[in-house]
Copies of this chain bind each other. A is one copy, B any other.
Amino acid sequence: MLSKKTKYGLKALAYLATVGDKEPVQIAEIAKHENISQKFLESILLTLRRNGFLGSKKGKGGGYYLIKDPSEILMTSVMRVLEGPIAMVPCVSLNFYEKCDDCPDEGECSVHKLMLQVRDSALEVYRNNTLADLIS
Contact = CB atoms under 8 A, between A and B. Distances in A.
Contact of A114 (B75, B117, B121): B75
Of the four ranges (under 10, 10 to 19, 20 to 34, 35 or more), the interface on chain A belongs to 20 to 34
How many copies of this protein are present in the complex?
2
Interface string A46-75: 000000000000000000000000000001
Contact of A102 (B36, B85, B101, B124): B36
A116 to B, nearest CB: 10
A131 B67 CA distance: 46
Interface in A78-136: 84-85, 88-89, 101-103, 109-111, 113-115, 117-118, 121-122, 124-126, 129, 134-135
Contacts of A126: 118
Interface string A22-63: 000000000000111000000000000000000000000000
